[in-house]
Amino acid sequence: MFTRPELFRDETRLKVHAAAEQLNYSPNRTAASLSTGRTANIGLVVPNLANPLFPEMIKAAQHGARDHGLAALLADSDDSAADEEKLVHALAKDVDGLVLFSSLLSDEQIASVDSLRPLVFVNRHVPGHRSVLVDAPHAMSLLTQYLANLGHTAATYYPGPDNSWVAHDRLAALHKAASGAGIDLSIAPMGPASFESGSAVADELVRKPLPTAVLCFNDQMAMGVVARLLQLGVRIPEQTSVTGWGGTKVGAYSTPALTTIAAPLADLGTTAVAELLLAQNDEPGADPAPVTLEATLLARATTGRARD
């Protein structure tokens, strides 16, 4: 009755539900899953819950799941591709599908989990799977044109970790956008993107002539750069401008407030759940086009006119 209500007349359904309410009865989800093949659960896997980028996405995804009568199970892979692979295997038996946020899995690891459950990727395009992306070319064009209008003709970019698909996607987009805006781009080695790594970047920056603009892979790194440069006596944005990526709420309350590319974090979460529901009906061998969402530029106090 509770798993296939459409098989019963309205009068019968009303009587059964009234009796269940009187007895304070609720259906056994485990038993129901045995008969329907559905668990009414989805899995959400993130690389690091301490990253302020993810909570807004996760909250929106949970709300989206709840709106469809689903429960969301959350797991943190601790920035480890090996742990992410183990989590996907562990969760697969208890969920109807998984959303992998900023997945670190290699192509070989994806192949190993490919047939377990429908998979949706956020911030990564994987052929044969549904993906939800931010339009990096558009976002980088906004950023570079903004900097060019402030008189910047050169910038240094800190591109994030080498094992991140989205880091390479943003780097390629920035190369093209900087060229179009007439900005000479210097690329630092790929590496961690955290508050701590941003602080270390600032220590490196003051050992040589400061670039007029420092662009960071994410807001965490950018805020680490800003905080440490201020400690070292560098005036921001008078001596150098600093930008991030993400649009995390903490950036608006940092001092000075962070200029950043704001990703549509909530929309990424809700869209991922919607795509997961669609993926459950995809034919084998389907290769849906990625859903691409636009970011916006939040021009705040860490950017200003290029110094002479």
Which residues on neighbouring strands pair with residue 98, listed in sequence order?
43, 119
Sign of CA dihedral 300, 194, 157, 101: negative
Buried b (16+ CB within 10 A) or exposed e, 208-239: eeebbbbbbbbbbbbbbbbbbbeeeebebbee
Quickly tell me which residue has 């389907």 as its tokens: 286
* Structural domains of the chain, ranges and CATH numbers in brackets: 39-133+266-292 (3.40.50.2300), 136-263 (3.40.50.2300)
Question: Which of 140, 138, 149, 111 is CA-nearest to residue 127?
Answer: 111
What's the pLDDT score for residue 36?
Answer: 52
Q: What is the pLDDT of residues 77-106, one digit of tens each?
A: 999 999 999 999 999 999 999 999 999 999
Q: What is the pLDDT of residues 241-280, one digit of tens each?
A: 999 999 999 999 999 999 999 999 999 999 999 999 999 9
Q: How many Cβ atoms are within 10 Å of 111's Cβ, its own excluded?
A: 10
φ, ψ of residue 97 to 5 degrees: the values are 175, 165
What's the pLDDT score for residue 43?
Answer: 98
Amino acid making up residue 170: R
This prediction has a pTM of 0.87
Residue ranges in the chain whose pLDDT is less than 70? 1-20, 23-37
What's the pLDDT score for residue 32?
Answer: 46
Q: State the distance between the two ends of the chain, measured CA to CA, in whole angstroms.
A: 75
CA atoms within 13 A on the CB side of 148: 15
What's the pLDDT score for residue 73?
Answer: 98
Residues 95 and 43: beta-carbon distance below 8 Å: yes
